[in-house]
Structure 1
Amino acid sequence: MPTTRTGAVGSSEEAALLGPVHFIGVGGVGMSGLARLLVARGTTVSGSDARESANARALRALGVTVHIGHDAGHLGDARAVVVSNAIEDHNPELAAARRRALPVLHRARLLAGLMAGKDRVAVAGTVGKTSTTSMLTAVACRGGLDPSFAIGGHVAEFGANARHGTGRLFIAEADESDSSFLLLSPDTAVITNIGAEDHLEVHGTAENYFRCFERFLDRLPDGGLLVTSADDAGTVRLTPCARRRLRVRTFGTSSGADLHVTDITVTPGGSAYRATLDGAPLPPIAIPVPGRHMVMNSAAALLTALELGVPVERAAEGLATYRGVGRRFEFKGRAAGVRVYDDYASYPLKVRAQLRAARVVAGAGRLVVAFQPSLFSSTRRFAAEFGAALGEADEVVVLDVSRARERPLPGVTGALIADAVPLPPDRVTFVPRRSEAAAVLAGLARPGDLVLTMGSGDVTLVGPELLGLLGDDRV
């Protein structure tokens, strides 16, 4: 295991760690996890969000004061304020914090403070980082390391997106979308892949996006560990430079991978494969989630865990009993013979990979997908790629673009993607209003079908609405 560095924690981070601290947008999956970690450390926490949510209710159960709506008075006696990029400058609580000269921390800076003094593992990549981070956490727990963790999804084993463990290890999902992972200083980095299919509204070009990962590796100490893919073109390009300063270990189906994956099988009940490590065979590996992309995520987690000292038998057990993470092909229920799943996929690469996995689970039934684009900029830039990926389904419903993160662009709607789907027109439907999507799906679905809602926005609400219309009979 790499040597632990204490890491510098500035006065702003210290103020947040001591509290009281107020989160603006506390119901978000990343923000609520950080709030959980502070509560576990004994910090007084409050927060606000635009709407009620399961995360808000869970935080209240932990003693956090959560306000719905934003008002300057919600700050109370806070000594520090935590924000994400979703919080705009005109937010009344943010404006009040600045008037009071309170420290205002980006959530990644707080995460860096929470990780200080630990053996730090940061999992990054264009796609797969949430699943990889959750798999690694499950394996580390099975290996007796009892890690702290912060993940952009709810890990089924723990029913939470973050936990304060008793061990030396801290595992965190690292966000490259806004370059905020450059605020972290990990001892070990995992990079699943690098493919600029999104976030170009921030990075500008694919080259800039790639360079951001180079800068991320600069955050590691000399001799630090990089675990990365031997199959992905982006990470393969990154590896030679990384080897000059870091210890690099690779996974993948490529013959030169340190952890060489072979004999992949995917069934409705999960995936299995064989692997060798430095030429030596490992026990057969099985994971209860389907998809070749999930095999690669598990290989990344397996290799990292072995490098961190988890015995291979324990690592295999951890993967075999992995229970998944929220919004990653999450089963929502069954009604009228229709199975409903939900997934966060919002990049063409991930959309295609998840639809191929869902096809296996669908079996003889049709695969019906409802997709909500997440950004106007990526819809304009990648409409053809999104359309081609959605063509893996039998029936496609495309919603309009989520308005959570960007202002609309003239002429850019979900219809651009719907028009690019290579299926007969009668099998592709554009639904401008999210509120109407469940009814449209109810009209399309037949017994035996698998319906998959996809996207990072409020399309996740469509599945339960559909089940209600069909007559939810889940057990």
Structure 2
Amino acid sequence: MAYIPPTLAELGRVHFIGMGGAGMSAIARIMLGQGVAVSGSDARNSAGLEQLKGMGAAVFLGQAAGNVAGADTVVVSTAIRESNPELAAARAAGLRVLHRSQALASAMADDAVVAIAGTHGKTTTTSMATVMLRAAGVDASFAVGGTVQGLGVNAAHGTAPVFVAEADESDASFLNYRPQVAVVTNLEADHLDHYGTAEAVFAAFEDFVALLPADGTLVACLDDAGSAALAAHAAAAGTRCLGYGFADGADIRLVPGERDGLRTSASVVVRSGLLPGGEAQEVELRLGVPGDHNLRNAAAALAVAVVLGVDLSAAVAGLAQFSGAARRFEAKGEGRGVAVYDDYAHHPTEVTAALHAARTVAGSHKVHVLFQPHLFSRTAEFAAEFAQALDLADTVAVLDIYPAREDPVPGVTSELITSRLHKPTGYAPDTAAAVAQLAGGAVAGDIILTVGAGDVTELGPDLVAALQGHGHG
């Protein structure tokens, strides 16, 4: 049964535990824009918290039971444990406690919701769709899991009755939304610590598609076996489906174009019957971000434009303005002619896509990777696949596993990956030594890519500093 969210009026004053996180801060920002009284706490201050404070939020540094005084609703993420003093106080006081996805569902109100899901590419596709719609004159509300470059924020309340949201499948919380348009970028086994089996992951996405109303639309990538199978299943059940990708038969079909460093292009053919006038139409898509995966992400955004009735030329022009999302092949700086990028990739398919993009950018030069596995469960499940993906680089250094929400598992270490690598370097338990080694081995024209969903992102500036301080090259 579909989740029915409380209205904003019913929420009263809303308190966010861990408000500085990407997902939580996005919802807080939207609610502040809607006139909701907001407070929140976090372990340490951040630029994001300062922005929320400037918008009128009450911000507490550190977490204590007294912080929830005066709140009517408390919002938590999956990472917040029942022992948290603020959550315990909220339970004791009988306050309404919502998961962040439930709070976001309330913020969506009666807007036409475009919920963008998938194992990979959610943040970039949601960012692309947002930039595209706003450039085309549709002031949509949006909530993304990372800062949208060019907009400078990860969420905003817009004036148009359209809400574009990244829909997180990791804990099945995307089932709390009521989408008018459901986008599935791909569908693979992941988050098995939550789901247990690949079949359970697929079943959750079937439930997600089942949330669509009778006049809703599923937008699915036909280049991916999982999402293509999902679309076939949905179409057989009577759901309107639009397929996109390079695949023959795609409703929004990509025809490869030029690859030139960070720039990528393709022709996009929209089949007949989808646009005003009824005829097929072909447009040229030019992106300022690399990789075929980003062409697919852009095609998904164009499919959203088609569904919403946005002018196709305006949509393509809007996508040309897209300059990236935080931690998605994000430039961190350079030294001695070596460019450093950072990417959030934490699944073998994502790592493969990032390294293919890196190859395009580096051209005939070398690609050096500093990789941090994310979660013991994911490392154990995909060690061989990670090694195969990382072998696309010229040199690889693999840090210790970033545990996130998990406790260590005996026998599960980064060496499960490095023992399978065929490239130089390998296991790098000493972070400083790994940074020095990669910086020292790179020459002008090479690129260094930090990869992973943990704190490896903090090493980008260290690599840039090491390159700039290096005495030769």
Establish whether TM, by shorter chain, passes 0.5: yes
Match of 2:277 in 1: none
- Mapping 1:40-439, distance limit 5 Å: 40-196=33-189, 198-243=190-235, 244-278=237-271, 280-423=280-423, 427-434=424-431, 437-439=434-436
2:331 counterpart SS class: strand
**Separation in 1 of the partners of 2:86 and 2:338?**
45
d(CA) in 1 for partners of 2:399 and 2:409?
16
Whole-Å separation in 2 of the counterparts to 1:444 and 1:148? 45
> In 2 relative to 1, CA 467–251 (structure 1 residues): closer, same or farther, beyond 3 Å?
same
Secondary structure of 2:409's partner? Answer: coil
One-letter code aligned to 1:223: D
Does 1:469 pair with 2:466? yes
SS in 2 for 1:149: strand
For residues 425 and 105 of structure 2, the distance between their equivalents in structure 1, rounded to whole angstroms, comes to 45
The Cα offsets for residues 311-330 of structure 1, whole Å up to 9 and x where unpaired, read as 11101101111121111101
1:53 deviates by 2.9
1:377-409 deviations in Å (ceiling 9; x for gaps):
010110000011011111111111112211110
Number of aligned positions between the proteins: 461
> Taking structure 1 as reference, are residues 57 and 366 closer, same or farther at Cα in structure 2, changes over 3 Å only?
farther
C-alpha distance in 2 between matches for 1:215 and 1:40: 31
Aligned counterparts of 1:448 and 1:266: Cα–Cα separation in 2:
17
Cα distance, 1:447 vs structure 2 = 3.1
Name the SS of the counterpart of 2:90 in structure 1. helix
Counterpart-to-counterpart distance in 1, 2:39 and 2:438 = 39
Q: TM-score with structure 2 length normalisation?
A: 0.93
Counterpart amino acid of residue 222 in structure 2: A
Quote how far apart the aligned CAs of 1:439 are: 3.5
Q: Are the aligned partners of 1:453 and 1:459 in contact in 2 as well (CA < 8 Å)?
A: yes
Q: Secondary structure at the match of 1:451?
A: strand
Runs of 4+ in 1 over 6 A off after TM superposition: none
C-alpha distance in 1 between matches for 2:5 and 2:199: 31
Contact 1:375 / 1:403 at 8 angstroms: preserved in 2? yes
Structure 1 pair 315/57, CA: closer, same or farther in 2 (3 Å)? same
What letter corresponds to residue 163 of structure 1 in structure 2?
A: A
Shift of the 438–51 alpha-carbon distance from structure 1 to 2, 3 Å rule, reads: farther
Partner of 1:9: 5
CA contact (8 A) 1:118 1:169 kept: yes
Letter in 2 for 1:137: T
Instruction: Using the TM superposition, give the Cα deviation of residue 45 of structure 1 relative to its aligned residue in structure 2, in angstroms.
Output: 1.7
Are the counterparts in 1 of residues 40 and 57 from structure 2 also a CA contact under 8 Å? yes
Structure 2 letter corresponding to 1:460: T
Q: What residue identity is the alignment partner of 1:379?
A: T
Extract unaligned runs of 5+ from structure 1. 1-5
When structure 1 is superposed on structure 2, of 203-212 and 229-238 the one drifting more is: 229-238
Identical-pair percentage: 47
Task: Provide the C-alpha distance between the structure 2 equivalents of 1:268 and 1:259, rounded to a whole number of angstroms.
Answer: 25
Partner Cα distance (2:60, 2:427) in 1: 36
SS for the counterpart of 2:229 is: helix
Question: What is the root-mean-square deviation in Å for CA atoms of aligned residues?
Answer: 1.9
